[in-house]
Amino acid sequence: MIYQIAKNELRNMFYSPIAWLVLFIFAVQAGLEFTENMAMEVRDSVMGISLYRVTANCYSGIRGLFSSLQGSLFLYVPLLTMGLMSRERSSGSIKLLYSSPISNSLIILGKYISLLIYNLMLISILLIYVLVGLCVIENVDFWLPFSGLVGLYLIVCTYAAIGLYMSSITSYQVVAALGTLAVLAILNYLPSLGQNIEVVQEITYWFSISGKANQMIDGLICSEDLFYFFIVIGLFLSLSVLKLQAERKVISKLRSIGICIGILMLVLLLEYVCTRPVCMWYCDVTQDKSRTLSKGSQEVMKELDGGLTITTYVNLLDNHRWQGLPANRVYDVRSFRQFTRFKPEIQMRYVYYYDQTDNPMLDKLYPNLSIEDRARELARIENLDFDKFLSPEEIRGKIDLTSEGNRFVRLLERENGRKTFLRIYTDGQANPGEREIVAALKRLTIVPPKVGFLTGHDERSIRQVGEWDYSAFASNIGFRYSLINIGFDVEEVDLRDTISGDIHVLVIADLKKPLTDDEQVHLQRYIDKGGNLFILATATRQELLNPVIRSLGVYFEPGILVQNHKQHQQDLVLGEITSEAIHFSPEFFSNKARGKCITMPRAVAINCNEPSDFRVTPILATPAEGCWNELETIDFVNQVATLGPEEQEKSYPLMVMLDREVGSKKQHILVAGCADCISNGELTRSRNDVNSNNYSLIMESFKVLGDGVFPVDVSRPASMDNAIKVGETGLFVLKWFALFILPLGIAMGGVWVWRRRRK
């Protein structure tokens, strides 16, 4: 009987022009989206622009085919479902169904199966474009588009179940269609309800259908999403069966209400179980496993045995407070989904308080209000319960956050008592990425390496914020690439005393005063023990560092390196990554392939010809043409340097790595001829026609000096689908097929069925 009902329903669908019209419009829309995406890839390929992750660009992501269509699928379903049961009522045929020996559940299942079959036809249109992609994309990410197809099919089947229920409660097809749209609208906007009540927010977020197929479209199949679709489909099919049962049998309202409440309670129970991290399973179908933590991150997660608590401290007066407020808490918790996947027992806590922090906007808006009055005003505006926010005295009794500037911050704490901070940053992204989160987690498993910065000789300061100081990359809590945010501890070191044994790396940057004999002895003792060093010089003061590095087999040459530019001063040298450097650093390899350079103002050349037991590897060098070591000119604002008879135009070493074996340890020493390249000013400066990436120099340098402990390696295999086999001619043929031939074929099929029915 189910087969007969489904067959009859399909016959009614395709005898109606609506089913064919939906297929026609959907085919045109899908064709437009797919050909536009493919045209962008072809255009970039013809222009010589490197392609990257072509499969994802065509099918997922922001502009992908599936992502674009997901937002419009709800418009098609009400047209199909509005007559499923309404037509039976209006025509009177519902009485024949009721009088037949068939149960209510079989009636509903028969109707629903017809929708499942029609939905397969709808999705088969997208399957055609998937097959096209498999043919024209080189090394296609094979399973990614199929995962998206499954996601779209499940979401349209969910819409169909909702539409079937709405059709079962009214005899008017238009009312059923509008009711379906209304229910879908409610399910989309549910997360905006009960924002400040945690339990209600979790329920409304789970019930919301908005974006439920996003993960599958992006290549990650999660059990929570699958169960969501199955549970919601089951819910509305059950309600449809109950509606028919109430019409066929006399059931008291109290019993009907009790049954509905029982179904809802079962749904809530299943929702609770399905959303527990320990009950979830995942399948990443992407070829480079881009939806999963990298192997390096997974290794760190394996080391985190025992409990782990992430406590988020939310200051009401901080600019980033919105992220941890109750209205956004569910989204904040889910931002750690990749990590709870590998450690389900992670606990998330939130502490709300108000205290003085750097917020110029509030200073401007409320110049005459006290801290408490400002907090009360913000709580009133944002409809928050002020009594839930701890006062400055109360929060300081629990934890001292003054070192963090009372900013939005998270405290990661293991069961064994080890703890560290995880911050947000002042860049456009703000939130920590995988590298920063894993670095914080790894700090809980090891004793973090400590970087010491030499002081006492007017070196670059790690506390001052001047243009030539080092506070940005060393100790700035708001800078993503600072050492304290990628895993290291930092402190200042005075050479008048013996260097502490816990100093893993010593940085000597731009001495302005020579070392004393005692300081030289302490430094040499550190070097002899195998301590790692980072030595940076600048023009006019390089001689002060030569006594330090001559014993290492290198020294800084007198003069200043210059390079001819059209728009910039000659004392700006663009350091090129050497062929030797790319062999030990994937980041350097990537930068060199993309034509990136390191900007190095006021740089000096390094001579590597001294005898030594260190192996010397050049990291950065000047271009071979247009560069020389200038020995006379020092004023590059008012003068133009020219190549003199004693000066030679060639490639000069700008940065070298020295390494040797000291006992069982490998010692690394980096020597750079420019102390400005990682200064506060240079890290934030941009120049026309200069494609620089000085941030990477910090990361890769301290990766070597930190013996690979930090920064954590979160690299993953490069994507392989970076080319297409179709050109402009092939694109023209594809457009004709997608926009004319396929839709016309569907239209002709509809006309053929219509004519056959008339005969």
Residue 636 clears pLDDT 80, i.e. is over it: no
Question: What is the spatial distance between Cα 715 and Cα 481, in angstroms, rounded to a whole number?
Answer: 16
Q: For residue 328, is pLDDT > 70?
A: yes
Residue 294: predicted pLDDT: 92
Is-contact 164 108, C-beta < 8 A?
yes
Residues 254, 323 within the same domain? no
CA dist 514 and 438 (Å) reads 40
Question: Which residues are within 8 A (CB) of 638 and not within 5 positions of it... i.e. 6 or more apart?
Answer: none
Q: Are residues 523 and 465 in the same domain?
A: yes
* pLDDT at position 373: 92
* Residue ranges making up the domain that contains 580: 447-705
Q: Give the number of other Cβ atoms within 10 Å of residue 204's Cβ.
A: 19
Are residues 255 and 334 located together in one domain of the fold?
no
Do 435 and 712 meet the contact criterion of CB atoms below 8 Å apart? yes
Q: What was the pLDDT predicted at 247?
A: 72
For residue 498, give the amino acid letter: T
Mean pLDDT computed over 312-339: 91
Q: Are residues 15 and 110 in the same domain?
A: yes
Do 12 and 120 fall into the same domain?
yes
Q: Which residues of 131-142 are buried (b: 16+ CB within 10 A; e: fewer)?
A: ebbeebbeebbb
Q: Based on the domain organization, do 280 and 141 belong to the same domain?
A: yes
Q: How far apart are CA 117 and CA 104, in angstroms?
A: 20
Confidence of residue 176 (pLDDT cuts 50, 70, 90): confident
Model confidence pLDDT, tens digit, residues 416-461: 989 999 999 988 888 999 999 999 999 999 999 999 999 999 999 9
- Say what the pLDDT of residue 647 is: 77
- pLDDT one-digit tens code per residue, 592-629: 878 889 999 999 999 988 778 889 999 999 998 888 88
Same-domain status, 405 and 471: no
613 and 471 in a single domain? The answer is yes
Percent above pLDDT 70 for the chain: 96
Q: Are 95 and 155 in the same domain?
A: yes
Q: How are strands ordered across the β-sheet holding 347-353?
A: 347-353, 308-315, 409-414, 419-423
| Interval 641-674: pLDDT, tens | 777 777 788 899 999 999 999 888 899 999 999 9
Closest CA to 349 of 311, 321, 313, 322: 311
| Cα→Cα distances 120→124, 127, 660, 741, Å | 6, 10, 65, 20
Minimum mean pLDDT among 262-266, 720-724, 752-756: which range?
A: 752-756
Q: In this structure, what CATH number is given to the domain that contains residue 690?
A: 3.40.50.880
DSSP 600: E
For residue range 17-34, what is the model confidence (pLDDT) as tens digits? 888 999 999 999 999 999
With respect to residue 437, please indicate whether it lies within any of the assigned structural domains.
no
Q: What is the pLDDT of residue 91?
A: 63
Q: Contact, 296 vs 713, CB < 8 A?
A: yes
Q: Does residue 281 fall inside a structural domain?
A: yes
Taking the C-alpha atoms of residue 522 and residue 519, their distance in angstroms, rounded to an integer, is 5
Please count the other Cβ atoms lying within 10 Å of the Cβ belonging to residue 445. Answer: 15
Do 206 and 353 lie in one domain? The reply is no
Does residue 226 belong to any structural domain of this protein? yes
**Res 67 pLDDT > 80:** yes
| pLDDT value for 92 | 64
Q: Token pair 């000069």 is at which residue?
A: 652
One domain for residues 280 and 340: no
In this prediction, residue 38 has a pLDDT band, given cuts at 50, 70 and 90, of very high
66 within a domain of the structure (yes/no): yes
Q: Which residue has the tokens 């997901």?
A: 70
pLDDT (0 to 100) of residue 644: 76
If pLDDT is split at 50, 70 and 90, which confidence band does 135 have? Answer: very high
Decide if 365 contacts 378 (C-beta within 8 A). no
Nearest to 128 by CA among 203, 209, 23: 23
pLDDT on residue 591: 81
The whole-number pLDDT of residue 685 equals 87
Q: Is residue 612 part of a domain?
A: yes
Which class for 755: exposed (0-12), middle (13-18), buried (19 or more C-beta within 10 A)?
Answer: exposed
Mean pLDDT, residues 361-378: 90
pLDDT of residue 12: 81
Please give the share of the chain, as a percent, with pLDDT higher than 90: 51
> Is residue 294 one of the residues assigned to a domain?
no
Strands (E), 519-652: 532-536, 555-556, 560-563, 572-577, 598-601, 606-607, 615-621, 627-630
Question: HEC profile for 476-506?
Answer: CCCCCCCHHHCCCEEEEEECCCCCCCCEEEE
Cβ atoms 465, 667 nearer than 8 A: no
pLDDT in tens, 291-324: 999 999 999 999 998 899 999 999 999 999 988 9
In degrees, to the nearest 5, what angle opens at C-alpha 749 toward C-alphas 746 and 753? 145
**Is 432 domain-assigned?**
no
Per the domain annotation, does 435 fall within a domain?
no
Q: What is the mean pLDDT of the chain?
A: 89
Q: For the chain, what is the domain count?
A: 3
- Cα(184)–Cα(224) distance, rounded to whole angstroms? 20
Higher pLDDT, 565 or 425: 425
Model confidence pLDDT, tens digit, residues 241-273: 888 887 767 677 787 788 888 888 898 888 888
Provide the pLDDT for residue 94: 65
Query: Is residue 86 pLDDT above 80, yes or no?
Result: no
- Bridge partner residues of 600 (DSSP): 573
Give yes or no: residues 172 and 243 share one domain: yes
